[in-house]
Amino acid sequence: GAVVSQHPSRVICKSGTSVKIECRSLDFQATTMFWYRQFPKQSLMLMATSNEGSKATYEQGVEKDKFLINHASLTLSTLTVTSAHPEDSSFYICSASAQPPIQYFGAGTRLSVL
Amino acid sequence: KNEVEQSPQNLTAQEGEFITINCSYSVGISALHWLQQHPGGGIVSLFMLSSGKKKHGRLIATINIQEKHSSLHITASHPRDSAVYICAVNGETSGSRLTFGEGTQLTVNP
């Protein structure tokens, strides 16, 4: 099956720093990538949808200046959490799609902001 | 009321038992997905269905479009099946966008 690599798997950072998370489709070209956030014991919450070469579409309530998404190529999307604060601590997971409605998920990134 | 509802929320079984997890949805869909999330957080796509039934190893997924209902069955359950199982749907006009159920935490004891 198709493989989506997400890196890093875990990051611990100090409050005020920025963290970049990468999502790569390894063996297919992803026209659309999705970024999700998951709080403990809760389901995934869609943060934004990104299409290659265009600006991401953010869900209501998600700060676009806080969560910067770049989808510069058909195999790479990045999520940058800017000026991270403890309330940004969460599990972030990406998925990639080439042929809707099929999505392939990354392994996720656990962010802890001290 | 959520667009996608799963039952039960939590399920504990003994090794070898037959397990059923249910998913009901209230919108028109183009596809329904069953996903498995392990304790580490990574998500694996188990099935994508738009009609009928699919089988992969000990896992069987069925969908009834008229009743807006799907079931995931696990035969001869094993402790390694312990995970959160998530039902998700693509709305008819949503393209790739998924709407998720709350998930079912399955624990299989040896």
Contacts of B45 (CB under 8 A, 6+ apart): A1, A102, A103, A104, A105, B33, B34, B35
CB contacts of A93 in chain B (<8 Å) are 41, 43
Q: List the end-to-end C-alpha distance of chain A, in Å, as a whole number.
A: 37
For residue range A35-69, what is the model confidence (pLDDT) as tens digits? Answer: 999 988 888 999 999 988 888 999 999 999 999 99
pLDDT of residue B97 exceeding 80: yes
- pLDDT tens, residue by residue, A83-105: 999 999 999 999 998 877 788 89
Supply the pLDDT for residue B57: 96
pLDDT of residue B1: 64
Length of chain B equals 110
pLDDT at B21: 98
pLDDT tens-digit readout, A15-29: 999 999 999 999 888
pLDDT recorded at residue A1: 62
Per cent of chain B over pLDDT 70 is 99
Among the partner residues A38, A91, A100, nearest to B95 by beta-carbon distance? A100
For B17-68, write each residue's pLDDT tens digit: 999 999 999 999 999 999 999 888 888 889 999 999 999 999 999 999 999 9
Query: In degrees rounded to 5, what are phi and psi of residue A87?
Result: -70, -10
pLDDT at A31: 86
Listed by number, the residues of chain B in 39-58 with a beta carbon closer than 8 Å to a beta carbon of chain A are 40-45, 48
Q: How far apart are CA B33 and CA B49, in angstroms?
A: 6
Question: What are the respective helix, strand and coil percentages of chain A, to the nearest 5?
Answer: 5, 50, 45
pLDDT-derived band at B93, boundaries 50, 70, 90: confident
